[in-house]
Structure 1
């Protein structure tokens, strides 16, 4: 709570003085009526003319001007107090705390000059009949000095108020955001509740969403208690959090029927795929038999475990699908989704293994029939890399020439390996594939170096 300066009481006394000024202003009119009667009836009031009356008028004018200055200062202080209270309600930064401290210091100064003004007003009774010119002059000087202090203090107060512009603007912006933010949070919470009711109307429990929505209840209560209790920054942050989490609940609740339908579709699809893989995995053993009969052991040894692995993986996948079905019936959506993903991964692995056996046989049949196609593919890749390495050069860079020459030698050795009664066609295929890969790395290096130098 900011301190209330004693200038408030001072202003009340200043207002009384202003009424006294107003009474003095009526004296000429009263004199016009009373003076003839006094002369006629022997009145007792003593009047001073000339310099004395001129000094009285000047002192009264100074008193009037001081009262105006006092009123203006009091008004400015009250207006600035509202600005300070606005800043304090929103901002707790060092700059805001410094502004409060400076305002309090100005309040002490206002008290001092206000007291000086009140003392000057109380020290001189300008309505006295026997007010002499010297006393009137003293009153004028004291009141003029008091007015000057009041004016200077008000000017300093005005400058201080102008310096609060950035802080006040920030505070007013946040206050302007407060009501809309709280209202958005309430509307988001209502929309989430309606969406949850709609999802439950389709027979879905959505217990996890209901729990998340219930957890927002205390936050709504704090929002309703207002920024006066919890502060503007905290209330804004809470409103944004409630709106964000309510929106997430609403979105999930609206997607829940679709999510349930998607899980049902995936269950059907993965069961069908598991059945198909069971059939396909039964074809692996005949493929392995042909591989054993026609090719060396190196061509098929790594595939020996595929039939049993396929059976095991399909059984595991089917078990996961049963668990996913149970989770779906209990509406444990995250568990159902996770189990379906696991089943899918198992089936993918099985599919790749089963496909690999058939693909191996096809590739070995092709290279056994005509290895020249594989040789031509590899030679083309090497020659293309050699042309690129020589482009714009008289001699190739040793960093590129070495790997390419080595690729040529490797290809010749791979061809030599096909000679004999039982060639290792699988080694030939993997070696030519590795050669093309290494040649591709050289090509990438050449292009990157030339691109960097461009």
Structure 2
């Protein structure tokens, strides 16, 4: 918001008087030679009667007081005009309570300036120092009133100077923002131009980039507001708009420049995922023979959860291939976000299928290994327990119950799992899941011990 500071003069000061004062100040500035010529110019029309003695001395003193008051008035007027520029600079940038207070304080000083200026003009109008019959007493009164007016103008000037000094921080901040304004707007324009050029270059390769073009077109109204300037939209708003336009235009430029690479990447992913889907189709056909072997050699608990893998694998591959066809159509239509999303969905489906198909083969391999020799799995688990027990006893005579209890439970659980292998048809899969669970529980104890001891140091 741009606040308008008060005018330097109140309606109490007539325009004609202000012009007369300026004319007087202009005459004061004339060269001495010109002033000396003036009486001669009027010699033909008669000469003024001069009174010697005390009256002329008082006239000279009154004139000197008038000249001093005029100089004080001119100095105050100049300072007020300069200060108004500073106030306008602050209000153009800052709408804070401090800035609004500055405007009201400036208006109050302006009223005091008007009052002092009005009394000065009244004193000037009240005394014609060029009268031939000017009496000494009248000249003395004029000198007194003009001196008083000059002193009042000087006092107000001092108040104005103090006020100006206090504007330093606000004025510095405002000038800094104004200094940032033109470069920020220019950066925004250049960013928009670069984005437009990048978009044109992409289109020359045969890529439409419609979404990027729409995003760039949406910035056109913002450019119009930037061109309208801070006078209409304010400095803070214009700075924020320029920075936002720069960011968004830069993003469009970067994406436009990367678009050919993205198109090539999508093409590569389409080929890769289609090849993977074909490979998974072949691998999923091998799941049924694996399941047949599991059923023949192991108890139902070892393979029951894998029964649905062949059917699910076929369905997931079918869904993935459908997504790949949709992705191909989206890529041909250059709907890049849609193509990317569909490829991600197809990839997730194939990942799920791959894990399920791999799980069947891994299950058979692990069951074969433990059936042949369960000792390796038992030793691995016991080693983990013993390692945890040594850590729990390090630097202690007795173990912490928080450590001893879960480790004792782990030992007991392992022994039960080993016992479960006895019999004619042992559940090897239960044995494997139990040993894995024991190792996880032991690892949790080790992790907690190390964390506590590390924190203690």
Q: TM-score, normalised by structure 1?
A: 0.93
2:20 alignment counterpart: 13
Question: Number of aligned pairs?
Answer: 448
Structure-to-structure mapping, 1:63-142, within 5 angstroms: 63-142=66-145
1:166-210 deviation digits (Å, cap 9, x = unpaired): 221122112111111111111111111111111111111111111
Structure-to-structure mapping, 1:241-280, within 5 angstroms: 241-280=244-283
1:302 alignment counterpart: 305
1:307-343 deviation digits (Å, cap 9, x = unpaired): 1111111111111111111111111111111110010
1:326 alignment counterpart: 329
C-alpha spacing 1:127/1:32, structure 2 compared with 1 (3 Å): closer
Pick one of 355, 358, 369 that aligns with 1:355: 358
1:205 alignment counterpart: 208
1:356-380 deviation digits (Å, cap 9, x = unpaired): 1111111111111111111111111
- The alpha carbon displacement at 1:267 in A equals 0.4
1:63-84 deviation digits (Å, cap 9, x = unpaired): 1111110000000011011111
Aligned residue for 2:280, secondary structure, equals helix
In 2, distance between residues paired with 1:31 and 1:319? 105
C-alpha spacing 1:285/1:132, structure 2 compared with 1 (3 Å): same
Aligned residue for 1:131, secondary structure, equals coil
1:191 alignment counterpart: 194
1:146 alignment counterpart: 149
RMSD: 2.5
In 2, distance between residues paired with 1:26 and 1:174? 50
In 1, distance between residues paired with 2:113 and 2:403? 87
In 2, distance between residues paired with 1:31 and 1:339? 97
1:288 alignment counterpart: 291
- Is 1:173 the counterpart of 2:176? The answer is yes
C-alpha spacing 1:136/1:30, structure 2 compared with 1 (3 Å): farther
- Contact conserved, 1:219 with 1:242, CA < 8 A, in 2? yes
- Greater alpha carbon shift after TM alignment, 428-437 vs 246-255: 246-255
> Which residues of structure 2 form unaligned runs of 5+?
none
- Contact conserved, 2:287 with 2:310, CA < 8 A, in 1? yes
Aligned residue for 2:95, secondary structure, equals coil
- Contact conserved, 1:367 with 1:374, CA < 8 A, in 2? yes
- Is 1:219 the counterpart of 2:222? The answer is yes
1:235 alignment counterpart: 238
C-alpha spacing 1:85/1:47, structure 2 compared with 1 (3 Å): same
- The alpha carbon displacement at 1:31 in A equals 12
- The alpha carbon displacement at 1:19 in A equals 5.7
> Which residues of structure 1 form unaligned runs of 5+?
38-42
Pick one of 181, 185, 191 that aligns with 1:182: 185
Q: TM-score, normalised by structure 2?
A: 0.92
- The alpha carbon displacement at 1:148 in A equals 0.8
Aligned residue for 2:399, secondary structure, equals coil
In 1, distance between residues paired with 2:8 and 2:103? 14
In 1, distance between residues paired with 2:58 and 2:326? 106
- The alpha carbon displacement at 1:413 in A equals 0.7
- Contact conserved, 2:327 with 2:338, CA < 8 A, in 1? yes
- Contact conserved, 2:119 with 2:149, CA < 8 A, in 1? yes
- Contact conserved, 2:93 with 2:234, CA < 8 A, in 1? yes
Aligned residue for 1:423, secondary structure, equals coil
C-alpha spacing 1:27/1:94, structure 2 compared with 1 (3 Å): same
Pick one of 374, 381, 386 that aligns with 1:383: 386
Pick one of 413, 417, 421 that aligns with 2:420: 417
C-alpha spacing 1:136/1:28, structure 2 compared with 1 (3 Å): farther
Pick one of 306, 312, 336 that aligns with 2:315: 312
- The alpha carbon displacement at 1:95 in A equals 1.5
C-alpha spacing 1:32/1:398, structure 2 compared with 1 (3 Å): closer
In 1, distance between residues paired with 2:313 and 2:38? 124
1:40 alignment counterpart: none
Pick one of 392, 397, 406 that aligns with 2:395: 392
C-alpha spacing 1:415/1:17, structure 2 compared with 1 (3 Å): same
- Contact conserved, 1:175 with 1:232, CA < 8 A, in 2? yes
In 1, distance between residues paired with 2:139 and 2:429? 124
- Contact conserved, 2:5 with 2:106, CA < 8 A, in 1? no
Q: Which runs of 4+ in 1 moved over 4 A?
A: 7-11, 19-23, 25-34, 43-46
2:429 alignment counterpart: 426
